[in-house]
Each structure stands twice: as structure tokens, then as C-alpha cells.
Structure 1
Amino acid sequence: MRKGQGYSYSVIASVLVLLCVVVSRIECSSQVHALSRLYLSKRGVGGSSTMDTSHFKAVKDLKPSSLRSAANQEGLRKRDLIRRLPGQPPVSFDQYGGYVTVNESAGRSFFYYFVEASKSKDSSPLLLWLNGGPGCSSLAYGALQELGPFRVHSDGKTLFRNRYAWNNAANVLFLESPAGVGFSYTNTTSDLEKHGDRNTAADNYIFLVNWLERFPEYKGRDLYIAGESYAGHYVPQLAHTILLHHRSFFNLKGILIGNAVINDETDLMGMYDFFESHALISEDSLARLKSNCDLKTESASVMTEECAVVSDQIDMDTYYLDIYNIYAPLCLNSTLTRRPKRGTTIREFDPCSDHYVQAYLNRPEVQAALHANATKLPYEWQPCSSVIKKWNDSPTTVIPLIKELMGQGVRVWVFSGDTDGRIPVTSTKYSLKKMNLTAKTAWHPWYLGGEVGGYTEEYKGKLTFATVRGAGHQVPSFQPKRSLSLFIHFLNDTPLPDTSRY
């Protein structure tokens, strides 16, 4: 614990506060903070939790907003076409940005950014990408720091190409949800008090129904839903909602989730075991933690003095690390440069990228090009929302949903960047073990370019688990080439290469 705090917090408080890792010594990654804050809330830290953590129940009565005429939809689509983003290198594919209404009476609209496949767009599948948080922007992370076609230079003004973008293999749709995230908004202030997993799944579903009216050629196209971190909840919940409503124009083929929040208890225990197995904490600290602390996330018991002591030690041992990539450098100088840094390459992720993206997306000419609502200080665009007041429901596990999807023939791939310490590979392995799956193939390396790309195992029932070697929490940021290879094999429903000849 930090100096001045009492011992009234649970063990989660001490260790999750440390997960707001020192970045530039003044702030932590927004995505880090959002997930940590949710876990603290679920534990009732600082007071009793009123969050519903029972099993996810999809909304059965979903009524998409009254659809405009086909002519109007065509007009909206033409309006959404992005001519060119400021500082953008030339590309051969079309891109769109704009709003889709999900609740007309509340004035609730979601912002999307869509990039067509760079080749064979008419036959390529549709991928919907969701970032987690909860409350973090898929434009900030997925589109501009991970799998999108561009990354932002250190000047905060210009873009450079990501040659490993996932639109090499699919038409990719990035969604900012729920309302209050990124450029998505609501005209009903009380909406910001009502957010939770259930409402997010419902609104995401309505968004997709209405978006397909604007882009009707994707009705019936193979659909895949992917995301990372807390999207481990969003993705299976949306897939579950789609299957419940059986819209004829959804052809849901599979889901793909990375370093995903799946099962609270195993996620937490796997984090501590990862710390010890990677020499971040001592074997003695782990043993003392397990002996003296209540690690079950359902409980919000006050921790003992001995638990506080060992928690404080773990805090100190890991304070100066980026827990979301334990081998990555920290951002020690977030100042924008007059010109792009020399030698910038897509293969070397800049730890200050959050700052570059935030500067870029707050430029008025960028917002105009994206067709986003203009923001003004002090309400500038942020990577993760500061206006969402409350998260009302978050089940402790999504394992039943994943098993249900598998039972309905939906392809499920789960992947882990193996240097992430927050939702590490150990957490995911523990969660999958709770599913009592039957292995179809033995654990083995997969290869790309004559090197080990990671390790993988297939299970009966259409589930594949794969690690990505050398990647942190945001896998495509750190290993773009390996992540694209994994994505292509997922789409093609082919095993990852098990020989170095590939």
C-alpha cells in the first residue's frame, strides 16, 4: 500500500492500484486504469459493491431504431466516406467514419470507423473489433495502435502505414461503445449511470443491425467478432445476443479474444502466479499471499495486517514495470516532437503512442475528416472515458457463454501475448482448465518465418488457444506480423503452422 492508506482495503486494492503503472511518472495507461478500476469496484473496495455479478442475461426485447429509407441510408454512407485523413499516406482502399443511432429517443449514437479490405473486399469477411476497459476506445487502441491500417507518428500530426493491418484479410469495423466512449455520445445524461455488460451488448447489437442497413452488401457475409482485455466479456455477450435473435443477415462464424477477462478468480490467481514464475516477486511472497489473503473475487473482506504487508511488498517489487508488457520500456518523455522520430518502424512499438494518438484525435481537422463531433477543452477526446459514472453489471465469469457458443458451432479462438502480466497466459490457461475441455492436439509451437511465433493447443468443440511470443496485452501492437498470421489462420479455420518450414 501507498503511504497514508489504511488497511481497510482488500488485497485487490493494493495490488490493482500498482497496475496503474508509472508512465512518464505522471499517469498510467488509460486502458490499465479502466480495468483496474472495474476490479476494485467489483470487490467493493472503499465501500460495499452494488454491482450485479450474476450470470449474463441477454436482452430479449431488442428493437432497432426505426430504419431510414434506403435512399437516406445511401446518402448517409456517402457522407461517411473519408476522403483522406490529415497526414495520411496514400491507400488503395476506402474508409468511412460516422455515427449510427442506437436509441433515437435518448439521442444515443455510436461512432464507427470502417476500413475496407485492401484486396477482394467483395468476398472478404466482415470483422467487428471491440476494445475493452470497460470504457476504452477502439479507435484509440485497435485502429491506431494495433490492427488498423495506420499508426500515429511522434509529432501527433502524421500517420504511417501498418503493413500488417488486419484489413489485409478482412473488412474491419471498429466500434466505440458504450455511449460516452471516444466520440460516441448520448443526449440523455442518465445513460451514463446505467452502463453495464447487458446494456452494452444490447446497444452493440442494435448498432450492428442498423450499420448493416447502411452497408447492405455485408448482410449474410461471414461475420467475426474480436477484441481484447475486457472485450473478453463484450465479444461473447454480443455473439450470444446475435444468436438469440437469429437475424437472417447475420452469418456469425467465430469469435477471437486476446488476453481476455474470462473468469475473475482464475484471472487473479494467474496474475500472481505469473509474477512469481517470471521473477517479479519471490516464491516466499506468493506463498505468504496465498496463506494470508482472501483471493476470491466474490469476497470483499478486510485484509489482515500480514496480508497488507505482503501486498505492499508485491506493490514495491512491481511498481516500476509496465505490468501490461513486463519487458517493455516505459514512456519517459511524452512530449510531441516537431518532426516524426527517425527510424520509426511498425515492428518497434513506441510506449508513448497513447499520447500521440490523443494529440492526433484532438486536432479539429482530424475530427472533421472522420465526421466526428468536434470536442472542445476541457472536454477533449480521451482514449478511455472519464464521463461514464457507473458500471452496473459484470458477471464473474463468461465461461458458460463461451461453452454455449461452442455448442452452437461458433468457432472460438483465445490468444495470449506471453509478456502481459495483467491477464497473463497463466490466467487464460487456468480459465480454460475450468471448462473441462478435451484436447484435440498436444501443446506445441507454431511458426512464422522460421521462428517460433508462439505455442498452441486445439480442443474438441472448435476452440483453439494460442500464445503470441514476445507480445504484451495489446498483441498486435507488439507483434503485428505474428498477430496477422494468427488472424488469417483463424479466418481460414486452419491450424497454426507446426513446422518451421512455413
Structure 2
Amino acid sequence: MNKLIPPSHNSPHYSCQILLSLVLLSLHMLTPLEAYGSKVEQLPGFQGPLPFELETGYVGLGEANDDMQVFYYFVKSESNPQKDPLMLWLSGGPGCSSFSALFYQIGPVAFEIKEYDGSMPGLVSRPQSWTKLCSIIFVDLPLGTGFSYAKNVTDHRSDWKLVHQTHQFLRKWLIEHPEFLSNEFYIGGDSYSGIPVPAILQEISNGNEKGHQPLINLQGYLLGNPITTYREENYQIQYAHGMGLISDELYASLQRNCKGEYIDVDSGNELCLRDLQYFHECLSAINEFNILDSNCEDDEHLWRRSLTQELNESLSSRLTVPELSCKIYGYYLATKWISNESVRKALHIREGTIGKWERCYMNDFEYDIFGSFEFHANLSKKGYRSLIYSGDQDAVVPFISTQAWIRNLNYSIVDDWRPWFVKDQVGGYTRTYSNRMTFATVKGSGHTAPEYTPEQCFPMFTRWISNLPL
């Protein structure tokens, strides 16, 4: 029997599972600090009642009430929340709030891009929200991210602690929301989440096998432009050459002098270092997150540098006002919006827990997972579904680097390379493997593909989550 198939709603096993969860719920003594979700009735800046159900709340992870408190935004599926899949979304960084995904990428609202005049920034509906057919938990992890807080944040910030925190958060959240126990469950994320998400799935799967309660109906995962091997930078040279960003001569010289290694370069290899300096000069005025987009420096671009050098100050504190035409102007509006007292009250933020809100808080983080390839291999053996998608204009995690580690999983192809379409136009290219992994490029899109091309990513997600070919 396939252990990934959820029990029938009429089966004794299912009835016992629900009963056990209700017992766990009754035994879980809630103190005022541990009171869970609250419905958000209105959002300042949005005209009229919300056309979707939004809940925010905290889940306590520590022994003491105020030790570790994880904040989340939960949006119910706008279609059939009783039967539609449930997904937890973890934004990258590490330390970027999933507010980013909710307001910029896959959630039901977005900022109205108008020049800030000191009044409340406006919000509008996003027609391509993934919540049209999926309930999504947008979680602020690791601790210290967004509105999540702890007595000593520094003690709780590492890759493995993030894995354990997410797993613990999820099981406690499901105890408080037993109506979602039978729903198919997925985890999604992008960018740096390519490191922790596969490890989180493995830990959840192992917990299910050990009988940890409540049982999570884990089905699979999806990742966009995910960091996976920490060798992604070695593919930037090939990508930049293929996209016409460097000359044939420089490409040939880099290959000859660096011999395919562009990360751990011998300090005595002056020819390679010289070529690399020239390479970086060629790309210095390019937005590497989307080479087609304007080059507007912000915290995302500073994050790019933080992969190779230590930053001692908050990235968000260095964010200046971008041009209105820049994609990142919405990030600026977000800091103005969420700093407003009426917004925090509407979101049920606990007073005094977070002062200045930062979209990405990346200090004090310990990197102790040095690649997620082995987790993908283990999850493949267990038969979980996965969608790995790449905006093809991203030079930070180039699609060719993602293709390389997928090939190294060494699974046969069951649906070979072909275009996938949106309204009779090519949305990208896709290939599916025998481990139930689908790879897809998103044509003309950047590092966080749903943010750049929602009209393509929404049908891509819709088809995949519905078990349909792209």
C-alpha cells in the first residue's frame, strides 16, 4: 500500500486521527500568549471587505510562554478549503518574511504602485493569487524574521534550527486547525529556501514514520530558483556567455585560466582572478536577479553580496527610496504600510514585541546545512512529488545550475523537454522525471518568478497542484 495515499474520510484510521487530534487540542493548555489565530476583518489601504479569509497569529515553540513565538499569516483557499491542498510557504533570505510572498508574489493582495505622499499606501486584489485553489500558511521563520520573536533571537538562528522550528510549528498549527489534517500538504519556497525546505520535508516524513502526532498528509514540495549545492556561481559564467553578457574571448579565457572553478580560486592564479574581475565589471550594471529588469539596488542586491562577504549591519536599514519605475518600489511602500499603528492593530501584532519591522533580517545566522542535494535524493526515493521552476532571466541561481543537480539525481525522463503554454503562447519549457519531479523554466522571468510574471506562474502552479501536466 502506498503510504503517501491519505486514509479515506470514512476509514476507522481517519476517525481515530481526528479524535486523537481533538484530544491533543483539549490537553494543550492555552495561556493568553499562546492564543492562536485571529481573523483579520479589514486591511488598511484596501477598499471594502476582504474577498478572502485571512487569519494571523502566533505559535509558541518554547517551554516558557514568551520564549519563542512564531508569527504567521494564513489565507484559506478561495475555492474549496475543505478539500483543496494546504501549503506552507517559507521565503528565502535566510530571514526574509513570508510577507514578501503574500504581498508581492502569490498572495491575494498587492500594493498599488503610486508615489508615496505620506498617506496610507493602497492595496489591490491580485487576480493570479495561488490562494484561488490552495490554502497557504505564510510563516515568519527563522525566529527574528518579520514579526516572530524570542527572548534571545541569536540562539535560534541556523539552518537546522530553522528546520526543527518549522516542523514543530506545523504540527502545533495543525493541532489548532484539525479541520486541515486530511488535506494534502505541500511546502513551497524560493531562493535560499532551497536549502532548508527539502530538509524540513525529510524531517516531517521521518516524523510521520515514527508515529509523531498529528500525522501530516505530506505529498510534496515546490521550489523556485532554489539554492541547492552552493556551487551555483560556477554556472554564472556559462549563463552570462549564453545570454550575451560577456564576449566569446572572455568566456574562452575564463575556461582556460580557471578550468571551470570560479568560486574556490587559488589566490596565486592571477590570470583567473584577472578574468573574474573583468567578468564582474561586465555585470556590474546588470540586475542579476532579472537581467531584463532595471538595476535598482536594494536589500536583495546587498543579499547577493552577503553570500560571499559578511555584512555587519541590517540590510534593510540601508534601503533607500527607489525610483517609482523600479520593481522594488513596492518594498519601500511595505515599510511605510506595516509601520503604521492601524496596520499592526489590524494584523493583531503584539505590542512591544517588534520595533522596526524589516522585510529581511539576515544577521546572526549560522549556515550549517551545506547543500540540499542529498535531501532531494532521499525524498525522491520516498516518492514525493516536486516542482522545481526557474525564471530563465535569473543570473544569481541560473537555470542551468538547477538542471545540473537534477540530472545528477539520475532519474529517467518520462516527459521530455517541451514548451508549456499560456493562452497559446510559450510560458516556458518543462521536463518531468520518473521520481515525480517536474522541472520548468518560466520565460522572461527573474529570481522570484511569480513576482515578475504572475500571469505565467499562476497557470503553472494551478496545473501542477491539480496533478495535471504543465
TM-score range, shorter chain: 0.7 to 0.9
| Match of residue 332, structure 2, among 350, 355, 363 | 355
Contact 2:394 2:446 in 1 (8 A): yes
Q: How far does residue 76 in structure 1 lie from its aligned partner after superposition?
A: 6.7
Q: 2:104 aligns with which of 138, 145, 168?
A: 145
| Residue aligning to 2:74 | 114
Q: CA RMSD in A?
A: 2.8
Residue of structure 2 equivalent to 1:94: 53
Give the equivalent residue in structure 2 for 1:445. Answer: 419
Percentage identity across paired residues of the two chains:
27
Distance 2:322 2:281 in 1: 30
1:208 matched to 2:150? The reply is no
Structure 2: distance between partners of 1:309 and 1:82? 56
CA shift at 1:335, angstroms?
Answer: 4.6
**1:465 corresponds to which letter in structure 2?**
F
The reply to whether residue 260 of structure 1 matches residue 223 of structure 2 is no
Residue 242 (str. 1) matches residue 204 (str. 2): yes
- SS of structure 2 residue aligned to 1:453: strand
Q: What secondary structure, in the 3-state scheme, does the structure 1 residue paired with 2:42 have?
A: coil
User: In the alignment, which residue of structure 2 is the partner of 1:180?
Assistant: 144
TM superposition score normalised by structure 1:
0.77
Instruction: Report the TM-score when normalising by structure 2.
Output: 0.82
Instruction: Check conservation: 1:292, 1:307, Cα contact below 8 A.
Output: yes
Give the distance between the partners of 1:304 and 1:86, measured in 2 at CA. Answer: 57
Is contact 2:233-2:263 (8 Å) kept?
A: no
**Does the 8 A contact of 1:233 with 1:262 survive in 2?**
yes
* 1:267-316 CA distance string (max 9 Å, x none): 22222211111011222223333333476588474363323322221121
1:451-466 mapped onto 2 (5 Å cutoff): 451-466=425-440
Q: Deviations over 1:1-30 (max 9, x none)?
A: xxxxxxxxxxxxxxxxxxxxxxxxxxxxxx
> Among 355, 371, 374, which residue is 1:400 paired with?
374
Deviations 1:326-355 (A, max 9, x none): 001234897599xxx8xxxxxx98332221
Residue 6 of structure 1 corresponds to none
- For 1:177 and 1:419, the matched residues in 2 are separated by 28
Q: Please give the secondary structure, in 1, of the residue aligned with 2:139.
A: strand
Matched-pair contact (CA < 8 Å) for 2:296–2:322: no
Specify every segment of 5 or more residues in structure 2 that has no aligned partner in the other structure, as ranges: 1-23, 299-319
Distance 1:104 1:285, change over 3 A: farther
Post-superposition shift, 1:71? 8.2
Q: In the TM superposition, what whole-angstrom CA distance separates every residue of 1:391-413 from its partner, at most 9, and x where no partner exists? A: 14021x32221121121121011
Aligned equivalent of 1:199: 161
Partners of 2:35 and 2:58 within 8 A in 1: no
Deviation by residue 1:436-468 (Cα, 9 ceiling, x = unmatched): 221112200011111011100111121111111
Give the match for residue 381 of structure 1. 357
2:54 partner amino acid: Q
Describe the SS at the equivalent of 1:83: coil
Q: 1:363, CA displacement in angstroms?
A: 1.7
After superposition, the Cα gap between the structure-2 partners of 1:204 and 1:78, relative to the gap in structure 1 and judged at 3 Å, is closer
2: CA distance, partners of 1:291 / 1:367: 56
The one-letter code of the counterpart of 1:367 is: R
| Aligned partner letter, 1:85 | L
Larger deviation: 268-277 or 149-158?
A: 149-158
* Distance 1:78-1:375 versus aligned 2 partners, 3 A rule: closer
Match of 2:40 in 1: 82
CA separation in 2, counterparts of 1:71 and 1:108?
17
Distance 1:219 1:124, change over 3 A: same
Higher relative contact order (CA 8 A, sep 6+): 1
Mapped contact 2:192–2:227 kept (Cα < 8 A): yes
Match of 1:161 in 2: 125
